Amino acid sequence: MSRFAAIRPAWIMIHDCPQERRADFDVTSYQYPDGRTLTISKYGDHIWDFSRHIQRSNGARSDGFLNFDFVLPDGKSLIDPTHHRLLHSAKEYFYARWMHKSPVSKKFVSASTVISDWTPFRALLKWMVTREFSSLRQLPPSVCMAYVAAVKADMREHCRGVRTAITRIEILHLLYLYREYLADHPPRHPWPESTSHMLMGRTRLRDHYQATTEIIPERLYIKLGRSALDYLTEAAPNLLTAYDEFQSIRESAMDAVNASKQYRRDGSRHRLSATGIPAIEAAVTSRIRGRFPLIAQKYGFSDLKHFWSELEFARTCCYVVCAMFSGMRDSELCSLQMGAFSRSQGFDNEEYCWLSGTTYKLEIDPRPARWMVPDAVEQAVNVASRLAAPINELIEVELDQLRSIPMEGIEEFDRARANRILELNRLRRNLFADWTGPLMRARPLDNATSNQRLKELSERFGLIIAPKDMAEIRDRKKIVAGATWPLATHQFRRTFAVFVARNMLGDVRYLRHHFKHWSIDMTLYYASDPLFDDSLLETTLTTRDELQATVLSDWLTGKKPLTGGRSGHILQFRQRDKPKTVKGPTEVAKSLGDGVFIRGTGHSWCLATTAGCGGEGLYDAIRCVNCRESVIDQSHIGIWREIRRQQIETLSWPELGQPVVKRALDHIQAAEQVLADLGERVEPYQSEGAGDAGKD
């Protein structure tokens, strides 16, 4: 009985079965290797536990609970006899959703999908109670449309997203789709001539890739990366040394407590009981506190709480470095195991670094994947591995203890034992396994905990939003200047895609060195290997297309000046009087962008479709000024001002040869011409005497 599996029990056509017989039907179960089963949740339970069916490693166990005991607007719980009809309707639907294949996909839905339906279903029940509906059959299309209107009003009042609103009303459509398995369901299609998306004014094609996640402003992103790397370089070594010494006193305290008669008695049940673990933890903590002051004094910690907080902070820094340089989702980061970092030689004979984990794009079928990272990530993985090593040792010890305990025949005890074994098996060798208390009992690093610690890290690093950051922020009502950036796990992937896309456009940024491997060749690399995260590639290329469309849109509309060889064609396009059959400049840019590939040189945009200058314009800026494939816009003003300043400074050097002087003057003249074309007022450089430099 060393292995367990969470299984989906055999289904029963629930609406054909009398209510009094349903209570003992299994909803979720475990199966032992010998074929025996152990019930997790029964139909009659007030809480259905799907947690062991959710394969992602970043969820708290409670995230997998479906709790029918919640308060409705009349002040009574759904499980109150007053609402028995609504309770039966709710349980029927979620039983059918879990036990039967989807009428649309013809496949079983995941446990996460079932749980995600609970929030909109609760909202529907609350609305029904306020209007004194007690059955889903009381919801014909006219009433369903009244619910749509209520959701729209709530969306406007509370500034909820359109996707949230769509999910809220889609539950009515799902109830209708599963009508074959339900005694209580809407009598007709809730909106026969429309869809949930159309009712909210959206279409799937237009809005599918429209990103809503906030991108971390560039200045804060740079500061975040620098601060996290500096902490791992400067503070982590001292912390890890103290951590090793702490493990020694923790193990001694544990051995002493385990050896005492009080905790040897009835050890198996005691370790799994609600009172046993706190009692052991209190005894261990008492012994640790007696010896920890020596470590605290030696390594500069005020107390045990301060030490714990630094350990958590160090691991959060490791998380940040891995997230911001890989583009991995939170669930994927929490799947990383010891030894996840590796190196290999690419087709171009360059060395590349990788993180190997699991992607849960399709939760029913998770698959191994790997992500390209810069070598700076290795340090973060090494520190995280040092922090996780003792936790993983304790996981193996606890698993051995649990497996050695015989079956008690007591359902509550056997269920707790099976639950813990499944949880520990999932956490084995995990790089970001969390822990609780001095016992360092392993637990998953759930998303809520990660977000809380990221916000604490943001405050500690002083990621304060400045007025100049506001231009990069989407929601300026929620995020204001002077506040601390609300750092969250979901922001890293989108921000990563933006920086990589800028690098692919040739935008010269601070982080470009770290993304040097992302090029057209690397998109082919990602596309050719089934282990690579293709969804990250898709996100990045989509983001690049969006950035290119933004650049094109700026060129094609308004009166902003342009220069460069291609600028004339663009200015002519602006002046055309022919009617346009698209909705706006962004649509024009996107349609034109399908036949254009923009590359950035740092000082211009290159539109060459053939060899062009062969890349020489990257190193000699003035080649781009009159090149017929170049466009220079106002985003380059700062670069050309700096080119002019540097060349003027060059002319002040002693003993310059005539070729150097001429080259400097050519660059100054070209820079002044570009700046003038872009509407900048520049005083022409006076070169008196410069022509005599270098003469004998």
* 3 state SS of 73: coil
What per-residue confidence (pLDDT) applies to 508? 39
For 484, counting Cβ atoms within 10 Å of its Cβ (0-12 exposed, 13-18 middle, 19+ buried), the class is middle
Separation between Cα atoms, residue 284 and residue 291, nearest integer Å: 11
Q: What is the DSSP letter of 632?
A: B
What per-residue confidence (pLDDT) applies to 694? 43
Are 134 and 85 in contact by the 8 Å Cβ rule? The answer is: yes
What per-residue confidence (pLDDT) applies to 380? 98
Residue whose structure tokens are 């997230």: 323
Separation between Cα atoms, residue 449 and residue 35, nearest integer Å: 36
Separation between Cα atoms, residue 591 and residue 289, nearest integer Å: 67
Encoded tokens for 216: 């971390």
What per-residue confidence (pLDDT) applies to 520? 44
Which residue, 338, 331, 322, 310, is CA-closest to 375? 322
Separation between Cα atoms, residue 419 and residue 425, nearest integer Å: 10
Distances, alpha carbon 328 to alpha carbons 138, 174, 320, 532, 547, in Å = 45, 31, 11, 11, 21
Percent of the chain with pLDDT over 70: 80
Q: For the chain, what is the radius of gyration of the CA atoms?
A: 31
**Dihedral angle, C-alpha 22, 27, 32, 38, nearest 10 °:** -50
What per-residue confidence (pLDDT) applies to 415? 79
Residue 235: CB partners within 8 Å, gap ≥ 6?
310, 314
Are 618 and 601 in contact by the 8 Å Cβ rule? The answer is: yes
0.85 exceeded by pTM: no
A 10 A CB-CB count for 317 gives: 24
Measured at the alpha carbon of residue 342, what is the angle toward residues 339 and 347, in degrees to the nearest 5? 160
Strand order in the sheet with 367-373: 341-345, 351-359, 367-373
What per-residue confidence (pLDDT) applies to 115? 94
- Widest pairwise Cα distance in the chain: 110
Are 337 and 301 in contact by the 8 Å Cβ rule? The answer is: no
Dihedral pair phi/psi, residue 434, rounded to 5°? -85, 170
Burial string for 495-512 (b: 16+ CB within 10 Å, else e) reads bbbbbbbbbbbbbeeebb
Separation between Cα atoms, residue 52 and residue 246, nearest integer Å: 33
Q: Which residues of the chain have pLDDT under 70?
A: 1-6, 10-15, 203-211, 261-277, 346-349, 361-365, 407-409, 501-538, 540-541, 558, 576-596, 609-612, 614-616, 618, 688-696
Residue 637 identity (one-letter amino acid):
I
Residue whose structure tokens are 């998953």: 444
